[in-house]
C-alpha cells in the first residue's frame, strides 16, 4: 500500500476517534467528557500556568531516572544471563513469570522499602520496565547464530571485533524492540506510582482532579500523557522497523 493511502487511512481512524469523543460529549454533556476542542484548550491553559511545571518536572524526572535504570539494568542483566546457555535457560521462565504478575500489588512493598517520594516512583517505574528489556535482551543474545560466532573465531577476530561486527549487529534490533516495550511499561509504572500515595506529579494532579470531580483536568492530563506516549512509541517503532530492515 502506498504511503499516501496509509496516511489517509490513519487520518480516518483519528477522525473516527474524535467524532466518537465529540458524540459522547454531545450526549453526556461536559460532566461526562469535555469535547475535544475544550480539552485541547484546557490542556494548553494548564501547560501555560506556572504551577503546572513542578508537577510535570517531577513526573519527567521520575520517568527518565526509571527509564535509565530499566534500560541499563535490563540490557546488562539480559546480555549477561543470555551469554551463558544454562543461565539463560534457568532465568528466562522466571522473568516471564514476573512479567505476568500484577506488579501493582507490590507497590506497598516498594513504598515500605523506599519511603514516600520520588525514589518509590522511580523504583516502581524501573521494576515495570526492566523485565521486558531483560527478556528481549536475553533472547537476543541467546539466539545469536552459533555459526556466526564460529566464523568469527575462524577469522581470528579479537573479542572486541567479535562484539563490534557480529554480536551487536545480531542483537541490536531485538534489544531495541525490548526497549520500546520497556519504555512504555516504565511510563505505566511511574504513573501508577504517582496515582497512589503521591504528593506531586501528573498522577497526583489526576487524583486531585478526581476528588474535585474536575473532568476537564482529568481529560486534559490523560490527553497530554497519551499524546506523549503515542508520539514516543511511533518514533521508536519507526526506528525499530529500520533497524530490523537494516541488520
Partner 1 sequence: MSAAGWIRLLVVALMVGGLEIACRAGALPATAIIAPSEMVRAMIEVLASGEIATDIQLTFTAVAIAAALAISGGFVLGFLIHLSPRVRAALDPLLAAYYAIPHVAFYPLLIVVFGLGIGPLIVLATAFGIVAMIIATLTGLDRVPRVLTRTARVHRLSPLQEMTLVRLPAAMPHLLSGLKLALSYAFIGVIAGEFILSTAGVGHAIAYAYDNFDNRRMYGLIVFVIGFMVVVNMLVLVWERRMAQRRGAR
The yes or no reply on residue 119 touching partner 1 (CB under 8 A) is: no
| Spatial contact of 110 and 127, defined as CB atoms under 8 Å apart | yes
**Cβ nearer to partner 1, comparing 99 with 148:** 99
Helices within the chain (DSSP H only): 3-28, 36-48, 53-83, 85-100, 107-114, 118-142, 146-154, 159-162, 168-195, 202-211, 215-246
- Which residue matches cell numbers 496509509? 6
Nearest of 209, 167, 170 to residue 34 by alpha carbon = 209
| Alpha-carbon distances, residue 79 vs 92, 137, 138, 180, 182 (angstroms) | 12, 6, 5, 17, 16
- In whole angstroms, the minimum distance from the beta carbon of 247 to partner 1 comes to 20
242: cell is 529500520
- In whole angstroms, the minimum distance from the beta carbon of 218 to partner 1 comes to 5
Stretch that binds partner 1, among 49-57, 73-81, 154-162, 176-184 (CB under 8 A): 176-184
The yes or no reply on residue 212 touching partner 1 (CB under 8 A) is: no
When binding is defined by CB under 8 A, the residue of 104, 144, 170, 243 that contacts partner 1 is: 104
The yes or no reply on residue 123 touching partner 1 (CB under 8 A) is: no
Stretch that binds partner 1, among 72-80, 87-95, 147-155, 163-171 (CB under 8 A): 87-95
When binding is defined by CB under 8 A, the residue of 56, 68, 83, 195 that contacts partner 1 is: 195
- In whole angstroms, the minimum distance from the beta carbon of 81 to partner 1 comes to 11
20: cell is 466518537
| Nearby residues of 115 by Cβ (< 8 Å), 6 or more positions away | none
**Cβ nearer to partner 1, comparing 75 with 111:** 111
The yes or no reply on residue 160 touching partner 1 (CB under 8 A) is: no
Nearest of 177, 173, 148, 174 to residue 161 by alpha carbon = 148
Binding site for partner 1 (CB under 8 A): 1, 5-6, 9-10, 12-13, 28, 31-33, 86, 89-91, 93-94, 97, 100-109, 111-113, 180-181, 183-184, 187-188, 191-192, 195-196, 203, 206-207, 209-210, 213, 215, 218-219, 221-222, 225-226, 229-230, 232-234, 237
Amino acid at each position: 500500500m502506498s504511503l499516501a493511502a496509509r496516511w489517509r487511512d490513519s487520518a480516518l481512524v483519528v477522525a473516527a476517534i474524535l467524532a466518537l469523543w465529540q458524540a459522547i460529549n454531545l450526549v453526556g454533556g461536559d460532566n461526562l467528557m469535555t469535547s475535544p476542542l475544550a480539552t485541547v484548550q484546557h490542556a494548553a491553559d494548564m501547560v501555560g500556568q506556572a504551577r503546572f511545571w513542578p508537577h510535570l518536572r517531577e513526573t519527567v524526572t521520575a520517568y527518565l531516572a526509571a527509564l535509565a535504570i530499566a534500560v541499563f539494568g535490563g540490557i546488562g542483566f539480559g546480555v549477561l544471563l543470555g551469554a551463558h546457555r544454562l543461565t539463560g535457560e534457568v532465568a528466562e521462565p522466571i522473568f516471564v513469570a514476573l512479567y505476568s504478575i500484577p506488579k501493582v500489588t507490590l507497590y506497598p512493598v516498594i513504598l515500605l522499602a523506599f519511603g514516600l517520594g520520588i525514589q518509590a516512583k522511580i523504583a516502581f517505574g524501573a521494576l515495570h520496565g526492566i523485565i521486558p528489556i531483560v527478556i528481549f535482551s536475553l533472547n537476543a543474545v541467546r539466539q545469536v547464530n552459533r555459526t556466526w560466532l564460529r566464523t568469527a573465531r575462524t577469522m581470528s577476530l579479537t573479542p572486541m571485533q567479535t562484539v563490534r561486527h557480529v554480536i551487536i549487529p545480531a542483537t541490536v534490533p531485538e534489544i531495541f524492540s525490548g526497549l520500546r516495550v520497556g519504555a512504555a511499561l516504565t511510563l505505566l509504572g511511574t504513573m501508577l506510582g504517582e496515582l497512589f500515595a503521591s504528593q506531586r506529579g501528573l498522577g497526583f494532579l489526576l487524583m486531585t482532579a478526581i476528588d474535585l470531580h474536575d473532568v476537564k483536568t482529568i481529560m486534559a492530563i490523560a490527553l497530554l500523557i497519551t499524546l506523549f506516549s503515542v508520539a514516543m512509541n511511533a518514533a521508536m517503532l519507526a526506528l525499530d522497523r529500520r533497524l530490523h530492515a537494516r541488520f
